[in-house]
Structure 1
Amino acid sequence: MGGFLVSRLVQLSSEREGLRRQLVRARDELSHVTASYNDAHEYRLENSRQTFLDWVTDKVVDADPATLDRAALLEDNIPRGSSTEEMGPYLDALINEVAEVREHVQKYVRPSDDNRLDLDDLRKRGLTAPDGQASLYEKIVGSIAEQLPASRGMFGISPLLNLPIPRDSVSRATELRRLDESIREEQDLLSRKTMLEGEFSRVTGEIERIGQPIGVTSAIVILAVYSVLGIVAPVVVMGFDPTTLESWLEWLLVGVFVFGLAAVLGYIFWYAKTLNDPVASDSTRDASGPGAGQEIWASLRRRAVTVPRARRAHRRRAQLADQADEESVT
């Protein structure tokens, strides 16, 4: 019984330590994948935000704030891979920004202005447009100029001003391609991150189950009782060096020895029956079998993403998209 307990505890300790080392490696792998996913998510979110603002800015600038249907504008312009919850705050910020810029621009508009008014005219009057908002200022000034009286050129013909410039189809295709690539990158890393989180939970559960091995506690109790009744009690009696023993004491010592022996044999029979039970054997093997830790870590290594390779591919795709933008502009 003692040899069984020692061998069993040594085995459990070894397997538990192996699983702990694998848990550390799995935690490191998960942290790397999580960092890559966060980078990909931020990159995709920025692409979605830029695409969304490109689609709705002109509509917000041209719309009447009193009749602007925020819900419809938001629902009809959600980029692929995004949601109303993600784009809603950006739309609210844009609406507030347009209102503030329009109020600022109106201070420099004169009653004598006509539809030839542009941003340079207002700058000469003291209007200052931050570099990051120059494009928005131009759109708003153009929207205000469209509502001013038309100017008459030579022969009374109104010049063609503030005509909308169609967007380059190549640039739009490049933006959509970049958005699709960022969506695929994010979804791939999200699925692998979810898989690693599940594997991490599995390894943690295996370690917890090894801490509650089947039959070890019962063996310790039986060994302790048998040691007290079959070893300690007879030694104490012999320590007093009696010449003769009372009959009841003889029967008592024999009885406790037989009881302890029966308990040991009963435990061995129960444990052997447990090993032959397919359900119990599978659960025991899953929790502390010799190959459980190796199989879990092998699964982690097979499915986990190679983080440096994913990041290099991510940067490479961004560089190719930027080169395509430069070529389209050229």
Structure 2
Amino acid sequence: MNVLIADVNWLLSALAQSSAALIAIVGGLLVSRYVALHAEQEAAKRRLADLDRRLVEADRSVAEAERALAQHAVDDLLESDELFEYLLKTQGAELTAEAALDALDADPEDYDVVVLEDRVGFYFNEWSTAVSVLFPLIPDSEEQVEWLEFRRGRDLAVRNRYTWSWVYDQIVDEKVERARKEREAAERAARQKQPFGSLIKPVDYSSLIGRVQNPALTAAYRISDSQHELAKVSDLRTRVSEATGARTALRQERRLAAETFDATRQPAGFVLALQVLSFLALCGLVVPVVVMGFGPMTLEPWARALIIAVFIMGLALLLRFLYVYASYLRADGRAELPRSVVGLLTR
């Protein structure tokens, strides 16, 4: 009787130890792989966060480059005599984007509406400031200097040189004309007081007064401005192209990083391996332990055979999983893994 009990305990203990050894080996491999995947996942997560921050900066760079190009196009439209002459005609009335487009006969679809509204307000404020600041500073005289010479030595809050120089020229022309009329009126009054003053013809000094401009030099300035304009537009377009290309490359890099992150979250076959180990633990470890703890002193031959068969089923299922997984890893092997233990047996 004692021999039978010893034989039963030896059999159940051997099965349980064998199952525990298999579970420890395979489970240890899975745990080590899980830890490695967790490290890869954390690295991929940090990489994604870094790429997201760089993408935000890239989007900002593209937006700034596109706005700079759009603003340049709007400035090229608004920096015109027609717009400032319109402001003179309207006596400085509040300027709107629609009014500016109508005055310049421009198509609104060719310009960024937000940038246009912002720059219209900027030019209107600049024009108003230039008028209020320059008018009292320019003397009422027929002898005036060029804008650059006038500005030298004065602390003027100039944000747009074209606007200030245009306003300066208009005020100078007005004050020169006013001073000329006052001089001519004074000369007429003086002649009328002299004997035979009506017979004296006044000398026209208008051709000798004012700012001397060299036509050749003016043409050279225009050619230089045109070349500068083309270079600036080319530089702005290059900036937009480079910023867009950098953003596209970052988006592609982020997509690949996201794919890497998703691959580390749940590797193929991980859940199936856990199911196989669970089945092996149930068949080769739980059943023998339960039988040893609550079973009879002896086991019939059929009961022993059943316990051994259950252990062999768990072992066979583990081997089946290893073969299927090896086939999945081959280039010409299985296209996908089964989703459950049942599929492992049927497919």
Establish whether TM, by shorter chain, passes 0.5: yes
Match of 1:63 in 2: 86
Decide whether aligned partners of structure 1 residues 62 and 109 sit closer, same or farther in structure 2, where only a CA change above 3 A counts: farther
The one-character-per-residue Cα deviations of 1:34-67 (angstroms, maximum 9, x if unpaired) are 8699679768866875675465333332224469
Normalising by the residue count of structure 2, what TM-score does the alignment of the two structures yield?
0.55
Match of 1:172 in 2: 226
Match of 2:122 in 1: 93
Residue identity matched to 2:120: L
Match of 1:311 in 2: none
Distance of 1:274 and 1:155 partners within structure 2: 107
Q: Is the 8 A contact 2:328 2:335 kept in 1?
A: yes
The Cα shift of 1:220 comes to 0.9
The Cα shift of 1:246 comes to 6.5
The one-character-per-residue Cα deviations of 1:206-226 (angstroms, maximum 9, x if unpaired) are 122221111111211221232
Q: Is the 8 A contact 1:119 1:138 kept in 2?
A: no
Q: After the TM superposition, which residues 58-207 of structure 1 pair with which residues of structure 2 at under 5 Å, given as runs?
A: 58-59=80-81, 60-64=83-87, 65=90, 69-71=99-101, 73=104, 83=112, 85-102=114-131, 104=132, 108=136, 130-132=156-158, 135=161, 136-144=163-171, 151=180, 155-156=203-204, 158-159=206-207, 167-207=221-261
Residue identity matched to 2:122: A
1:214 aligns with 2:268: yes
Match of 1:244 in 2: 298
Distance of 2:204 and 2:309 partners within structure 1: 127
Distance of 1:70 and 1:252 partners within structure 2: 95
Distance of 1:178 and 1:89 partners within structure 2: 21
The one-character-per-residue Cα deviations of 1:67-100 (angstroms, maximum 9, x if unpaired) are 9842364957999xx8554454223311233245
- The more displaced of 218-227 and 45-54 is 45-54
The Cα shift of 1:227 comes to 0.7
- Structure 2 residue ranges without an equivalent (≥5): 1-21, 185-201, 338-347
Distance of 2:86 and 2:142 partners within structure 1: 18
Residue identity matched to 1:89: D
- The more displaced of 192-201 and 151-160 is 151-160
- Structure 1 residue ranges without an equivalent (≥5): 284-330
Normalising by the residue count of structure 1, what TM-score does the alignment of the two structures yield?
0.57
Residue identity matched to 1:218: L
Percentage identity across paired residues of the two chains: 18
Match of 1:234 in 2: 288
SS at match of 1:132: coil
The one-character-per-residue Cα deviations of 1:107-153 (angstroms, maximum 9, x if unpaired) are 7599xx79988899xx9xxxx97242594344224335556867467
